[in-house]
């Protein structure tokens, strides 16, 4: 429902190759991802942060091209990092030996020409991200989460068309995660977001488009549900099992490539699993009980768990 209200961007890449020195870190033949909140997911070292830095033109492309377009009334406009984008790195940022207030004033002067913007137009963000108690502190006195909040507020000061967030929920408690997710969702009507995260529950709630990277290459791209099907293959909910623990152990032996989780009296299976009738007879033969099976779309958490397991086993085999 909210997708229509979100401001859309499109990330397009052709023959893209980005390398650190001689070591290639990202290779994408063709990419076209459109959405309001686009999440980049993948295992550690998959190339998520590299993609973000390439979008920001901080890393030069050794081959190909990567562009970001905005759509205002379906008119394409190429976005420039310095004019239309804001970025908050994983660790946040504030100079260690200056106060948060001085750092914010520096950014206000750079982005709005008014060093006191944070007290007028930007006051909302200071309050929203609870920065008032931090203003007099030195950068070195802040935690990683606090530094990230400072940089997030600074990013919003410039009213960016695209906000890039690298691991924004890493290290946040449940309440702070929920608050930040709410802010992102609320702002999506005026700002598009490109974020990386390992918090699949939050990503599933927020993102309308997913980019899945594997070993520096594009593995899947598309709307969240579609990607869940692509990387999670198939899902099934098994009900009516008497001894869940024993059933799970037996199933794991027969379906080594699947991911299983227990949810109350149900078992949720995801991955390369047999079709529903075969799975039903398999479970019945293993548990000797009259179980029921419902085919479902795998959740992102399950799909990514399966994807990572699959990736890990492939890597191991390689």
* Interface with another protein (CB under 8 A): 20-21, 53, 56-60, 80-82, 85-89, 91-98, 102-103, 105-107, 109-111, 139, 147, 151, 154-155, 158, 164
Contacts of 138 (CB under 8 A, 6+ apart): 96, 97, 98, 99, 100
End-to-end C-alpha distance for the chain, whole angstroms: 43
Q: How far is the CB of 147 from another protein (least distance, A)?
A: 7
Q: How far is the CB of 82 from another protein (least distance, A)?
A: 3
Looking only at the bridges linking them, the beta strands covering 292-296 and 259-263 are: unpaired
Site of tokens 């504030």: 94
Q: Which of 306, 39, 60 is nearest to 167 (CA)?
A: 39
Q: How far is the CB of 70 from another protein (least distance, A)?
A: 17
Task: Measure the CA–CA gap between 148 and 82, rounded to whole angstroms.
Answer: 20
Q: How far is the CB of 135 from another protein (least distance, A)?
A: 14
Phi/psi of residue 291, nearest 5 degrees:
-90, 165
Burial (CB count <10 Å: 0-12, 13-18, 19+), residue 315? exposed
Hey, is 301 helix, strand or coil? helix
Cβ-based nearer residue to another protein, 59 or 203: 59
Q: How far is the CB of 116 from another protein (least distance, A)?
A: 13
Cβ-based nearer residue to another protein, 43 or 111: 111
Cβ-based nearer residue to another protein, 60 or 133: 60
Contacts of 273 (CB under 8 A, 6+ apart): 233, 234, 236, 255, 258, 279
Task: Measure the CA–CA gap between 100 and 35, rounded to whole angstroms.
Answer: 33
Give bridge partners of residue 175 from the DSSP assignment. none
Cβ-based nearer residue to another protein, 104 or 126: 104
Cβ-based nearer residue to another protein, 82 or 245: 82
Site of tokens 């033109």: 57
Cβ-based nearer residue to another protein, 61 or 183: 61
Burial (CB count <10 Å: 0-12, 13-18, 19+), residue 227? buried
Cβ-based nearer residue to another protein, 91 or 274: 91
Q: How far is the CB of 150 from another protein (least distance, A)?
A: 10
Task: Measure the CA–CA gap between 140 and 149, rounded to whole angstroms.
Answer: 14
Cβ-based nearer residue to another protein, 41 or 86: 86
Q: How far is the CB of 157 from another protein (least distance, A)?
A: 10
């Amino acid at each position: 429902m909210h997708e229509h209200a979100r401001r859309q961007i499109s990330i397009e890449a052709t023959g893209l190759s980005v390398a650190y020195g001689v070591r290639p870190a990202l290779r994408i033949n063709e990419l076209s991802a459109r959405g309001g909140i686009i999440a980049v997911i993948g295992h550690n070292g998959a190339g998520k942060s590299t993609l973000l830095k390439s979008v920001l033109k901080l890393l030069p492309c050794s081959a190909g091209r990567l562009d970001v377009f905005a759509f205002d009334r379906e008119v394409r406009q190429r976005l420039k990092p310095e004019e239309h984008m804001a970025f908050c790195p994983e660790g946040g940022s504030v100079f260690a030996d200056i106060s948060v207030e001085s750092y914010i004033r520096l950014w206000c002067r750079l982005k709005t020409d008014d060093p006191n913007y944070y007290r007028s137009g930007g006051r909302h963000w200071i309050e929203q991200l609870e920065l008032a108690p931090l203003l007099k502190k030195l950068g070195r006195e802040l935690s990683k989460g606090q530094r990230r909040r400072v940089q997030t507020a600074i990013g919003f000061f410039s009213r960016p068309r695209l906000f890039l967030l690298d691991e924004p929920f890493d290290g946040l408690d449940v309440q702070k995660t929920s608050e930040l997710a709410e802010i992102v969702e609320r702002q999506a009507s005026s700002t598009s977001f490109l974020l990386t995260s390992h918090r699949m529950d939050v990503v599933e709630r927020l993102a309308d488009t997913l980019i899945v990277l594997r070993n520096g290459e594009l593995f899947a791209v598309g709307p969240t549900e579609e990607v869940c099907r692509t990387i999670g293959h198939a899902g099934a909910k098994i009900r009516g099992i008497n001894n869940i623990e024993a059933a799970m152990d037996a199933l794991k032996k027969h379906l080594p490539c699947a991911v299983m989780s227990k949810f109350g009296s149900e078992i949720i299976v995801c991955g390369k699993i047999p079709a529903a009738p075969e799975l039903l007879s398999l479970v019945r033969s293993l548990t000797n009980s009259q179980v029921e099976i419902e085919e479902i779309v795998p959740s992102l958490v399950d799909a990514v768990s399966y994807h990572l397991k699959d990736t890990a086993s492939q890597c191991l085999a390689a």
